[in-house]
Each structure stands twice: as C-alpha cells, then as structure tokens.
Amino acid sequence: MIRDSPSLVQGARKIETENDEKTMETTTKELKTKHMFLNMGPAHPAMHGIIKIVLELDGETVINADIDIGYLHRCFEKHCENGNYMQAIPYTDRLNYVSPLINNVGYVMAVEKLFGIEVPKRCQYIRVIMSEISRITDHLTCIGATAMELGAMTVFLYMMKAREYLYDLIEDVSGARITTSYTRIGGVKTDLPDDFKEKCREALKELRSVLEEVHRLLTKNRIFVDRMRGVGKISQEFAQSYGITGPFLRSTGIGYDVRKANPYLIYDSVEFKIPTGIEGDNLDRYLVRMEEMEQSSRIIEQALRDIPEGSVRVDLLDRIIESSEMIDLAKMGKTKELILTHSKVAPTLEGSEVQSHFRINVDKRTIVIPSKQDTYSNIEGLMNHFMLIMYKDGIRAPEGEVYFPVEGANGELGFYIVSNGTDRPHRVRVRPPCFPIMAAFHEIIQGDMVADIIPTFGSVNMIGGELDR
Amino acid sequence: MGVDKTLDKNIILSKLDRALGWARKYSIFQYPFVTACCGMEYMSVACSHFDIDRFGAGFPRFSPRQADLLMVVGTISHKIAPILRTVYEQMCEPKWVIAFGVCTCTGGFYNNYATVQGIDTIIPVDVYIPGCPPRPETVLDGLIKLQEKIQNQKQEI
Amino acid sequence: MKEEGSVFEKIKEKFPEGFISRHSFRGDDTIIIHREYLYRIAEYLKESEEFRFNILMDLTAVDYLGRGYRFEVVYHLYSMDFNRRVRLKVPLLEREAVVDSLVPLWSCANWYEREVWDMFGIRFNGHPHLKRILLYEEFEGHPLRKDYPIDKRQPLIGPGSKEDRNRK
C-alpha cells in the first residue's frame, strides 16, 4: 500500500520536523482574510417569523449585523382608523398571535379608560384567567421552538402537547383556538362554561407535569447549558437605554413588571412573584420564562378560587321557547303570550344569555351590545344592537387620548388611542414589546458566533405580527 | 410529456402511473414557508396531537431544492412576494403548492396597500385551505384532497 | 412619588418659551412643547435628579389633517425609579415636518424614528441613517397619512406591478 511505504512516511516525518518552528498561528497570520457578508434571509428555518439579518463575519464571529424587518406589515393601525372601535378587535388578535387574549384585553382596556368605565368583578377575573393562559401558551411556544432549533426535538413535542390542553380550554370559553376576539368594550363575549373550573385544574396539572419533564431534560443538560450560558449577554444600562421590558429586562436583574408597577384588573389582589435573573444571558431568560409559567398557574388557581359566582341558572323552562316557535306565534299575532318569554339561543351563542349578561358586562346601553336573547326576542334589544353596530352609529367616545400598558408575554404592550369624538378612532398605536429588543439585536450578537445567533434569536421571541404590525 | 408518449401505442401504462402516484402522495417533503398566525396551527398539525406524519407528510425539508410541496402559511406581503416567487422557482418538478389560510387564498380581511390579495396572482396553487386560521382537521382534509389530486394526475418522469 | 403637577411647573419654570400648554386626561399627564426646545427638555427630563425619565417607551406621530399644525410627534417617557409616566407632544407644520432626533439620548429612538419617517414622512435632524423600515424601498408615499387611501396597490411583482406592465 502506498500509504505504508517507508520512504513516503519518512518523507512526511521530515516535512513535519521542518515545519515545527512555524506554528499554525503564524501561518494563519500570513494569510490574508476578508470579512464575509452572509444573508440569513427572510425565509429561514427558525420558525419565528420572517426577518432578514445581514451579517458581516470574520470567520465564524459576527463583526456587524443589519436587521431588516417589515416582511409582515399588515397595516393594523390604518385598518383601525377605517373601522369603528369594535371592528378593531379581530385585528388585535393577530398582533401577537401566540398570546392573542392579552392583546384583546389590552386594547379593550385602553378604550375603556378612554370612556372612563370599569367592568364588573367577575369580568375582571375572567380577563385575568384568560390572559394568564395566553401568557403560558406564549412561553411554551417560545421555549419549545428555541429548544427545537438547538436539537431538542422532544421538548418541542412535549410543549406542543401541553399547549393543546390550553387551546382546548380557550376553545371551550371563546369558540376559537387562536384568533379568539373574546373581549368586548365593556365586558367579554360570553361567560365561562359550567365545568370550566375542573377542566382548568386538569389542564394545569398536565402543564405542571410537562414542565417538570422539560426541567429534567434541559435545565441541567450539559449541551443546552453550554450553548445558552454566557451567550447574548446584556447589561442593565443597555436594556434601559433601549427601552427593553419583559423577560429580557428581568433576566438582567431589574424586576419591572407592569402587573406590579401599574396594577390593572385584579392583579393587586393575587399573590405572585416576579422572577429575575442575574447575568442577562440566554440561560437566565429560559429560566425566567419557565418560572413565569409556574407563577401564571398560581395566578389562575387563585383567580379560580376567588372568582365571584356566575349567574344562577334559574330553570326558566316555561319561559324559554324555541326561536322558531316564537316567530310563528308572532306571525299569527299571538304576541300577548310572548311577554316575559325569551327565545332559546343557539349553541354557538351559549354563555351570552340574559342571566349572565350583567355579571360580565358593564350596565351601559350606549356602549355594550345587549345579550343575545334580548337581541333575538324583543324589539328594544334589536334596536339597541342595531344602533351600536351599524355604520355611522356605534359607540361614541369622548375626545381625548389615552395610553394604557399591559404586561404582554414579551414585555410592556401599550395601546395609545386618540379619539376625535366620532365612532371611529382617530389613531390607534401599538407599542410592540419586541420592537426595542430587535432594535438592540445587532448589538447583542456582536462578538458572538453564527451558531449563537439561533438561541439568542429564539429567546427574543420575536413575533412578526407584533413587530411589523 | 407523459410516459406513455415515449412508448408504442399498444402498451397501457395505467398501473405505472398509479404506482408512481401512490408513491408520490405518501412521501411528501414539505417546505413550510411560515410567516404569520397560521404558523401556530401548522405547528399543531405537525405535532403529536393532530399528527401529519401519519399521512406521510411529516418531514419538513428546509431547502426548496429538496422539497416538493410548498406550503405557504400565513399572510404574504408585497415585501416578501419576490422571495416567495424565487423559492417556488427553485423547487424541482414535480411540485405542488398549498395555500394555507385565507390570507394566502384571497388576502383575508387585509384589503390594504401591503398585502398580496391571494398568492395565486404570483404562483400557481393546487389546494386552497381557507380558515383564519384553519383548524388542524381542515388542514388534514386539504392534504387528503391534495393526495387524491397527486394520485389522479398524469405522472411525469 | 412626586406630587401631581410638579413636572408641568418645573418645565414651565425652566423653559418658559418652549412650553405651550398642558392637560391631564384620565390620569395621563401631557405637555405640549415647541420643536426647537424638544432636545433640551428631553435631556432635562432624562438627566435631572428629581425626574429621571430614563426610558423612552414609545415614539410615534399623529396626523391631524385639516388643522393648522398638521402633525404631532408624541413621546411617552417612563421613570423606572419613581414609576411615573409623562407624554410630550410636539406640533409640526406640514411644510416644516422636521424635528431633532433623540438618538443621542435613547438608542431605541433610532428605529422608532425610522418608522415615523416611513409612515408619516417626518424627518429627524441628526438621525444616523433615516430609511424605510416597515415597507420596501421602492414604495412611494407615506401610508399612515390621512390622505393615503388604504387600498391603493403598489405591488413589486404580480398584477399591477412595473414588471407586469412592461410585459404587457
């Protein structure tokens, strides 16, 4: 074999001894290198949304980066100006689409601040429970996707399994899994179903067992910790000069949370802690998010324990008739028998009956649409509904401007609404929590390697719908 | 050009066409071009609850050269439309396109200056799955319809 | 916690020419100032020991078409030490839609100002690189202005675009 030929081996040994003085380092210093420009283009496998990062690389190290956003610009703010206050609610679902109920609640609370009204207690508890469930789904998706990109496919599947239980809960309450449009100005769309408490407790039990499994898989895992520890580090001053909030800021040690600083709804009457990190790197952000999910479960359990009672389902069987029967009687002119009867609502409208209406909605006819039974069975309800929905009528807000911040899953989500007295808002502005983080991103990844961009980007939890609106 | 054109007229190739169709429909390599909220439903479909792997389509290939099904998931804006066209042109024949979600079918309720009103103005589409976002069962129904289409179409070699 | 009204008093005292008016609606304090004094007032609010508004929460603009001062640039400031918020508004004429950039004070103003330029067409003096951020470079016009219709199409490819017209 040529390889084993003694003369060749001797020749190789001779060259080796000659090169001993010249080390690898001196050889590389003599080679001329140039920086390379690499495009992590808009369509890339990290399943977080579309963004273009143009990197200037020296080997594997990032010297400079330029971030290009706007690939999902869907003109949320312009659409809000073109419709009335209620028509903006479906557009708010699609802002941060992993935690849609938080956006719904934020927008509606800003409008309610403009009107100067406050919703009943039961409605506040319902909004808090749904917001916290949404926050948990957001953190599950974020950690699951980050872990998947580092190779931990199992964690992703476990997180999605836990998320399915929560989606079932959300579907029971609001009718849709993701784009719920659940809140209304002055209340929520429907009351909680009867068996919600038991189902919720079951789902939280499943969630906790999944979180424990994920802790066992990831938190002390050598590979995971090595890839996340010390990567994407930021300091407190850096975070404050960029206006970063949320888990990103809390991982540096500053415990700023809108739920504690400016409490809204019932957050001042439930007990929960704000987890903070120490070093401000990716591993701290992962731990902060895992702990926040546990704290959110605590909030949900306390809210379920303290929620005021729902409507008493009085058996009005002899006073509720099928809507088809009611129409037939009305056509025949037998309207005297219809006094004080209500028509039966369709299954899709369950939860919005007359009994539960005033527990979940403010008692103001100029703002809140009447309950479905009233709309479908008597003329006053129908007229009230008509005046609030049709074009050029609708909800009239007083002139002025408000800014209302809520704690989104990524940080402070603020709605700034300017009203000119008509039924359409003059300007609706969303302050997206991940916008300042992406503005700072090019500085965060400087000095790290290309492979470190992936977990850092995953821990940013950039949601395209929120960033580009 | 179909296979039967290259052979004599008295040879029937129905079995080969059907066999190729059967093989192609049960081994779909998808390229998920995920942009927006429908991506959440795509994740749900791909994972264990509503497993898409049992239909043979569970292996996403993140390179268009290696994929044969382009699933356009989520709103396409005018800024990303040229990139979508480039990705489509980089795929090799035979290829199919699924328009996932109503934003890709017709633009959805985003009738504005930045949204493409339906991706069939840019690339040809085989199956439209409406919904905002579509439930995972709807997606699986759409995939089965695509599989029927693949089975019944003329197979190119 | 500082008592209400003290921010107004201090600004009026220190910058009497820059202060136009103030109001408070539903608990939100708003100060309207002249555009020449914006940088000085913002610097004072950030650096002064009694206020320390160290976080720029939001920077946006509003279009009041038909009013004398057509645009208004709105700044939301937050002080983490005192847990206080204040809103600054700078009215601008349409023909002089230029204002000083606050990038030297807060780094996040960079992207916020690029977005305001993209959507409204308001320029910022001293901004390092003012270019479009949410829309593509070939886009013409500033969409969030009130006279831009929402369904005006300017596609890059596909029906109605330049390449389509050239092909025809």
Is pLDDT of B88 > 90? yes
- Write down the pLDDT at residue A25: 66
Cα separation, C18 vs C40, whole angstroms: 9
The amino acid present at A464, given as its one-letter code, is G
| Higher per-residue confidence, A211 vs A312 | A211
Q: Do B33 and A464 touch (CB under 8 A)?
A: no
Burial status of residue A368 (CB atoms within 10 A of its CB: 0-12, 13-18, 19 or more): buried
Instruction: Mark yes or no for CB contact B78/C156 under 8 Å.
Output: yes
**Cα–Cα distance between A106 and A413 in angstroms, integer?**
7
Sheet holding A425-431, edge to edge: A400-407, A412-419, A425-431
| Choice among A90-94, A385-389, A435-439, B101-105 with the minimum mean pLDDT | A385-389
A229-246: b (≥16 Cβ within 10 Å) or e? eebbbbeeebbbbbbbbb
CA distances from A388 to A14, A93, A424, C53 (A): 93, 22, 12, 41
Q: Which residues contact A23 (CB under 8 A, 6 or more apart)?
A: none
Instruction: Give the mutation candidate from C134, C136, C139, C150 for the A interface (greatest A CB count, under 10 A).
Output: C134
* pLDDT for residue B98 is more than 90: yes
Strands C71-79 and C55-63, sheet pairing: antiparallel
Nearest to A412 among C57, C119, C132 (CB): C57
pLDDT of res. C152: 84
A440 touches chain C (CB under 8 A): yes
Give the mean model confidence (pLDDT) for residues A18-42.
74
Distance (Å) of CA B28 to CA A311, B63, B88, B136: 51, 14, 16, 18
Contact between A465 and B36 under an 8 Å Cβ cutoff? The reply is: yes
- A154 token code pair: 């199992």
Does B123 touch chain C if contact means CB atoms closer than 8 Å? no
In this structure, what are the phi and psi dihedrals at residue A99, rounded to the nearest 5 degrees?
A: -135, 70
Residue that wins the pLDDT comparison between A317 and A80: A80
Boundaries of CATH 1.10.645.10 in chain A?
88-310
pLDDT at site A189: 86
Instruction: Express each pLDDT in A84-121 by its tens digit.
Output: 898 899 999 899 999 999 999 999 999 999 988 888 88
Q: What is the mean pLDDT of residues A193-220?
A: 92
Chains adjacent to B (≥3 CB pairs closer than 8 angstroms): A, C
Q: Is the pLDDT of residue A295 over 90?
A: yes
Question: Tell me: the pLDDT tens digits for C91-112?
Answer: 999 888 899 999 999 989 999 9
10 Å CB burial of residue C17 (0-12, 13-18, 19+) is: exposed
Q: Which residues of C touch B123 (CB under 8 A)?
A: none
> How far is Cα C101 from Cα C117, in angstroms, rounded to an integer?
11
pLDDT of residue A213: 93
The pLDDT mean for chain A works out to: 86
Please judge whether A97 and B135 are an interchain contact, meaning their C-beta atoms are less than 8 angstroms apart.
no
Of A373, A384, A385, nearest in space to A316 by CA = A373
Q: Which residues, at least 6 apart from A137, have a Cβ–Cβ distance to it below 8 Å?
A: A98, A99, A163, A166, A167
The pair of three-digit structure tokens given for residue A172, joined into one six-digit string: 């029971």
pLDDT of A389 strictly over 60: yes
Query: For the packed helices A121-149 and A282-306, what is the interaxial angle rounded to 10 degrees?
Result: 150
pLDDT digit of tens for each residue in chain C (168 aa)? 445 557 888 888 888 888 888 888 888 889 999 989 899 999 999 988 888 898 999 999 999 988 889 999 999 999 988 888 999 999 999 888 899 999 999 989 999 999 999 999 999 999 998 989 999 888 888 999 999 988 888 888 878 777 777 776
State the pLDDT confidence band at A415, using cuts at 50, 70 and 90. very high
Pairing of strands B127-129, B96-100: parallel
Instruction: Give the domains, in start order, of chain C with CATH numbers.
Output: 6-131 (3.30.460.80)
Nearest-angstrom CA–CA distance, B156 and C21: 75
Q: Are C127 and A260 in contact (CB under 8 A)?
A: no
- Per-residue model confidence as pLDDT tens digits over A48-76: 778 899 999 988 899 999 999 999 999 89
CA distances from A354 to A122, A366, A375, B9 (A): 15, 17, 10, 74
The 3-class SS string of chain A reads CCCCCHHHHHHHHHHHHHHCCCCHHHHHHHCCCCCEEEEECCCCCCCCCCCEEEEEEECCEEEEEEEECCCCCCCHHHHHHHCCHHHHHHHHHCCCCCCHHHHHHHHHHHHHHHHCCCCCHHHHHHHHHHHHHHHHHHHHHHHHHHHHHCCCHHHHHHHHHHHHHHHHHHHHHHCCCCCCCCEECCEECCCCCCCHHHHHHHHHHHHHHHHHHHHHHHHCCHHHHHHHCCCCCCCHHHHHHHCCCCHHHHCCCCCCCHHHHCCCCCHHHCCCCCCCCCCCCHHHHHHHHHHHHHHHHHHHHHHHHHCCCCCCCCCCHHHEECHHHHHHHHHCCCHHHHCCCEECCCHHHCCCCHHHHHHHECCCCCCCCCCHHHHHHCHHHHHHHHHHHCCCCCCCCCCEEEEEEEECCCCEEEEEEEECCCCCEEEEEEECCHHHHHHHHHHHCCCCEHHHHHHHHHHHCCCHHHHCC
- Report the gap between the CA of A308 and the closest CA in chain C (Å): 28
Tokens for A228, please give them: 């996340």
For residue C148, give the chain B residue with the closest CA: B113
Q: Which residue, among A178, A206, A463, A469, would best test binding to B if mutated, counting the most B CBs under 10 Å from its CB?
A: A178
Residues 6 or more apart from B100 whose CB is under 8 A from it? B38, B42, B71, B72, B73, B74, B129, B134, B139, B142
The number of residues in chain C equals 168
Q: Which of B39, B48, B80 sits opposite A71 (nearest CB)?
A: B80
- Contact yes or no for C62 and A426 at CB 8 A: yes
**DSSP one-letter code for B101:** S
What are the structural domains, with CATH classification, of chain B?
A: 28-152 (3.40.50.12280)
**Sequence-ordered alpha helix ranges (H) in B28-80:** 38-46
Cross-chain residue pair C151–B122, CB shorter than 8 Å: no
Number of H helices, E strands in chain B: 5, 5
User: A329: which 2 tokens?
Assistant: 């009687």
| Angle, CA of A361, A363 and A366, to the nearest 5° | 105
Query: Strands B59-60 and B29-34, how do they pair?
Result: parallel
Whole-number pLDDT of residue A6? 55
Asked if B79's CB is within 8 angstroms of C136's CB, the reply is yes
Cα C91 from Cα B44, distance rounded (Å): 48
- Cβ–Cβ < 8 Å for C85, C78: yes
Answer for the pair C112, C59: CB distance below 8 angstroms, yes or no: yes
Per-residue pLDDT band for A212 (boundaries 50, 70, 90) equals very high
Nearest to C99 by CA among C46, C36, C42, C45: C36
Q: What is the mean pLDDT of chain B?
A: 87
Q: Which residues pair with A62 in a beta bridge?
A: A57
Interface chains of chain A (3 or more CB pairs under 8 Å): B, C
Average pLDDT over residues A221-244: 90
What does the pLDDT average to over A142-162?
91
Cβ-Cβ contacts under 8 Å for A32 (sequence gap 6 or more):
none
Exposed/middle/buried for residue B49 (C-beta within 10 Å: 0-12, 13-18, 19+): middle
Q: Name the residue type at position C90.
A: V
Q: Give kind and range of the element (H or E) at residue B18.
A: helix B14-25
- Per-residue confidence at A438, pLDDT binned at 50, 70, 90? very high
Report CA dihedral (A16, A17, A19, A23) to the nearest 10 degrees: 100
- Average confidence (pLDDT) over A306-316: 67
Tokens of C32: 């309207």
pLDDT of residue A290 exceeding 90: yes
> Both tokens of residue A190?
């429907």
Residue A14: the pLDDT is 55
- The predicted model gives A311-320 an average pLDDT of 57
AA identity, residue C71: F
Buried b (16+ CB within 10 A) or exposed e, A83-114: bbbbbbbbbbbbbbbbbbbbbbbbbbbbbbbb
DSSP B119: G
Q: Give the angle C5-C11-C13 at the CA atoms, nearest 5°.
A: 100
Prior bond of A425 cis (ω within 30°): no
Q: Is the pLDDT of residue A321 over 90?
A: no
A238: pLDDT strictly greater than 70: yes
Contact A342, A370 (CB under 8 A): no
SS3 B137: helix
Distance from CA of A242 to the nearest CA of C (A): 5
Longest dimension (CA), chain C: 69
Write phi, then psi, for A368 (nearest 5 degrees).
-100, 135
Q: Specify the DSSP element, H or E, that contains C30.
A: strand C28-33
Q: Which of A200-214, A254-268, A364-378, B99-113 is least confident?
A: A364-378
Higher pLDDT, B25 or B1: B25
* Closest CB to C108 among A69, A114, A436: A436
Q: Band of the pLDDT at A43, cuts 50, 70, 90?
A: confident
Q: Is the pLDDT of residue A1 over 50?
A: no
Quote the DSSP letter at residue C68: S
CB contact under 8 A, B112 and C150: yes
Q: Is the pLDDT of residue A361 over 70?
A: yes
pLDDT of residue A351: 73
Helix (H, G, I), strand (E, B) or coil at C103: coil
CATH, domain A88-310, list 3.40.50.300, 1.10.645.10, 3.40.190.10, 3.20.20.60: 1.10.645.10
End-to-end CA, chain A: 67
